[in-house]
Amino acid sequence: MADSLKNVSVVGASGNLGKEVVRELLDAGFKVTAFAREELTATFPSEVAVKKVDYQSVESLTAALQGQDAVVSTIATAAVGGQIPLVDAAVAAKVKRFIPSEFGINTRIVEGTSIGKILQGKVKTLDYIIGKSQENPWFSWTGVSSGVFFDWGLKYGTVGFDKNSRTAVIYDSGEEPVQASNLAFIGKAVAAILSQPEKTANRYLSIASFNPSQNQILKIAEEETGEKWTVEQASTEEQEKIGEEKLGRGDYSAFSYLLRWRIYADGAGLAVLGDKSGISLLGLQEEDLAATVKAWLRG
Ligand SMILES: NC(=O)c1ccc[n+]([C@@H]2O[C@H](COP(=O)([O-])OP(=O)(O)OC[C@H]3O[C@@H](n4cnc5c(N)ncnc54)[C@H](OP(=O)(O)O)[C@@H]3O)[C@@H](O)[C@H]2O)c1
């Protein structure tokens, strides 16, 4: 099996994460095909084959997956609940490995929680994939929890730091370590998974470039800029309250509030360290937090 996962289809290859996954797979020597919807306008590196597909049609997807060894789905959040035809097509086309669009908090431990309700698209897709792998022993899966998209989140403000106004929003004590990964690191992890198919078959792996606390990030930002940043103190209890209210109204913008509560609350305990981390299994090393923060500040 080790040499056989060469041809890899990346679904959502034009996206934030998909682009990085494609780059890292090419670097690692995989033969990459990008799947895209009909209305595709994105461009890809010349070595990448591009297939336009209809994600609702098992027939269209099965045809596109002929000869493929693995599917990596980095499809948008809005479309994660629609991956079932893709799974059925992967099984029909005898694809050996499926990596679904997880790439966030560990969705295997959210049952019974409010945020778990919003993550049902991911949870049900992976449950379905696991069922298919049990029926078809040659069909396997790997789930990847990456925590927060860190370099992307610094750039787009989702981790609470604004370099222009030198402002940071710090939740609770700011001391809780938080699972976080840079996009290229996630791409490297995907390549490492597909390079070591036996070790990584039918496993859910939590990975992290690092597990910084908000205060650690702030300290690096202040040292690097030589300025004291304005800190806006916030409480995760308040985030939870807003999230629950929104969810109660069926408003899924609750997600980011419930997420902040889940990951930043003192004692949340979701950092992936030591045995909890899949990076040593994959042969990867933690990344340099300060270097990532400095690159963002200089960018
Ligand atoms: N951990 C985090 O902080 C974090 C942050 C953001 C996202 N995520 C997760 O990471 C995964 C990938 O997210 P992403 O931000 O990289 O995705 P994205 O850029 O929003 O979208 C990826 C691609 O999905 C394709 N797509 C197919 N059907 C679609 C539809 N109905 N609506 C929109 N796009 C559609 C598009 O490609 P084509 O147009 O080429 O078809 C798009 O470029 C998701 O599971 C998401 O939940 C995690």
For a mutational test of ligand 1's pocket, the pick from 44, 48, 77, i.e. the residue with the most ligand atoms closer than 8 A to its C-beta, is 77
In tens, the pLDDT along 105-160 reads 999 999 999 999 999 999 999 999 999 999 999 999 999 999 999 999 999 999 99
Work out which ligand 1 atom sits closest to the CA atom of 146.
1
Q: What is the topology classification, in CATH, of domain 7-145+181-208+271-284?
A: Rossmann fold (3.40.50)
Exposed, middle or buried by CB within 10 Å (0-12, 13-18, 19+), for 149? Answer: buried
The per-residue DSSP string of 235-265 comes to: -HHHHHHHHHHHHHTT-TTHHHHHHHHHHHS
pLDDT band at 2 (very low <50, low <70, confident <90, very high): very low
Give the pLDDT score at 275: 86
The per-residue DSSP string of 20-33 comes to: HHHHHHHHTT-EEE
For a mutational test of ligand 1's pocket, the pick from 21, 74, 144, 272, i.e. the residue with the most ligand atoms closer than 8 A to its C-beta, is 74
Distance CA 229, CA 234 (A): 15
In tens, the pLDDT along 238-276 reads 999 999 999 999 999 999 999 999 999 999 999 999 889
Check pLDDT > 80 for residue 1: no
Q: 1 by DSSP, 3-state: which?
A: coil
Sign of the alpha-carbon torsion through 129, 131, 134, 137? negative
- Give the residue range(s) of CATH 3.40.50.720 domains in the chain: 7-145+181-208+271-284
Q: Which residues lie below 8 Å from residue 198, measured CB to CB, with a gap of 6+? A: 1, 2
**Contact (CB, 8 A) for 244 and 254:** yes
Q: Which residues lie below 8 Å from residue 70, measured CB to CB, with a gap of 6+? A: 5, 7, 8, 9, 95, 96, 97, 98, 99, 194
Give the pLDDT score at 39: 83
Q: 232 by DSSP, 3-state: which?
A: strand
pTM above 0.95, yes or no: yes
Average pLDDT in the chain: 96
**Contact (CB, 8 A) for 271 and 177:** yes
Distance CA 179, CA 201 (A): 23
Q: Using the mean position of ligand 1's atoms as its centre, give its distance from the Cα of residue 76 in Å.
A: 2
Q: Using the mean position of ligand 1's atoms as its centre, give its distance from the Cα of residue 42 in Å.
A: 13
* Extended strands (E) in 104-175: 140-145, 148-149, 161-162, 167-171
